[in-house]
Amino acid sequence: MWENTKRDSIGGGKSKKEAKQNTARSVLNQLLGVKDDTPQPVKSSVNKDSNHVNGVSNGNKLAKLSEPNPISLLQESCFARRWPPPYYETDSPNGMPHERQYTTSVYVDKFREVGTGKTKKLAKKEAAKRMLNVLKSVPISPVDYKKLYEDNITSSKNLDLANELSYLKEATYVKMTPQQSKKIAQFHQKLKNNKGPKLDALKQNISNQKGFDPVQYLHEISQDQRFEITFVEIEDKSLSGQFQALVQLATYPVAVCHGQGKTQQEAKTVAAHNAIEYLRLMTKSK
């Protein structure tokens, strides 16, 4: 006699194949009335625990994201006081490779604070946080707009100079070989000896003439002496808020002159004027 009775069973295993075999064995044991000793899947609380852990982790991340950034707060504090933005300077790291320690100094008005950290970012944040604590005791004075304008001009020049000095300090220079020095000297001598209507006019101070166009004149000199010039418009403005431009002269060595002005065209014109002055200096007879 066959009794059609539905049997359900669950089996577990390290793979799908093993789980199917254990399930089939469990059903067979039920039919035969044998005690089932096949391994059963264990209900894991990993998801629950992991959700809890992830919840805590996400909560910590959200808490960190909600914390105010001291660097931004310091920037806003300087803006509220009508001061120039903070200036940061990071020294070379100290310590073993796995224990690097960075030191960052921040300058605001007449104040200076130092922060340290395992990364440049952490050191910068620490310095900003210390500076904020100092500024808490400094009241915000009424705005003297005339003094503000004068201070901003002076501060912008000082920051430009500080950035240039910082760049020069960190820059790596390649020592010139005697052959390269000789080649440069030969080029300058050749330029002095060259003849041409535009190059000859350099000896006369034509840049002061009415209607003089430095950009056009520089193009004419380049055609006269057969070297290329390239103008580059810089997207970022200078610290004093002016437009910037560069002009590259494909001479030997390559010369690059900078210009800045109230408009992009004015910056380009100033760069061309500086390039003309450079060529005048190189072609000037002793």
The per-residue pLDDT for 64 is 55
Do 118 and 102 meet the contact criterion of CB atoms below 8 Å apart? yes
Do 224 and 199 meet the contact criterion of CB atoms below 8 Å apart? yes
User: Residue 38: which of 52, 54, 24 has the closest Cα?
Assistant: 24
Residues 273 and 193 in one domain: yes
- Cβ-proximal residues to 130 (8 Å cutoff; 6+ apart), any chain: 106, 113, 114, 115
The secondary element (H helix, E strand) that includes residue 258 is strand 255-261
In this structure, are strands 229-234 and 87-90 parallel, antiparallel, or unpaired?
unpaired
The per-residue pLDDT for 221 is 83
Q: Does a structural domain hold residue 49?
A: no
Residues 132 and 183 in one domain: no
**Cα→Cα distances 30→1, 233, 266, Å:** 17, 84, 94
Residue ending a domain, choose from 137, 164, 188: 137
Range of the domain at 243: 178-283
Distance CA 61, CA 74 (A): 23
- Cβ-proximal residues to 252 (8 Å cutoff; 6+ apart), any chain: 183, 184, 187
Residues 121 and 187 in one domain: no
**At 23, is the secondary structure helix, strand, or coil?**
helix
The per-residue pLDDT for 153 is 58
Q: Does a structural domain hold residue 205?
A: yes
Residue ending a domain, choose from 108, 137, 166: 137
| Per-residue pLDDT tens over the stretch 224-261 | 877 788 999 988 888 888 999 999 887 767 788 999 99
Residues 213 and 124 in one domain: no
Residues 132 and 188 in one domain: no
Q: Does a structural domain hold residue 4?
A: no
Put residue 107 in one of left, alpha, beta given phi > 0 → left and psi -120 to 50 → alpha: beta
**Cα→Cα distances 81→19, 87, 132, Å:** 71, 15, 13
The per-residue pLDDT for 130 is 94
Q: What is the CATH number of the domain that holds 213?
A: 3.30.160.20
Residues of the chain with pLDDT under 70: 1-14, 27, 31-66, 141-177, 180-200, 203-209, 252, 285-286
Residues 184 and 133 in one domain: no
**Cα→Cα distances 262→3, 238, 258, 285, Å:** 98, 11, 14, 35
Put residue 86 in one of left, alpha, beta given phi > 0 → left and psi -120 to 50 → alpha: beta
Residues 192 and 269 in one domain: yes
- pTM for the whole structure: 0.37
Do 19 and 39 meet the contact criterion of CB atoms below 8 Å apart? no
**At 185, is the secondary structure helix, strand, or coil?**
helix
Q: Does a structural domain hold residue 44?
A: no
The helix, strand and coil proportions of the chain, stated in percent and rounded to the nearest 5, come to 50, 15, 35
The per-residue pLDDT for 196 is 67
Residue ending a domain, choose from 78, 112, 137: 137
Residues 222 and 274 in one domain: yes
**Cα→Cα distances 59→67, 193, 214, 239, Å:** 12, 75, 62, 40
The per-residue pLDDT for 2 is 44
Task: Name the domain count of the chain.
Answer: 2
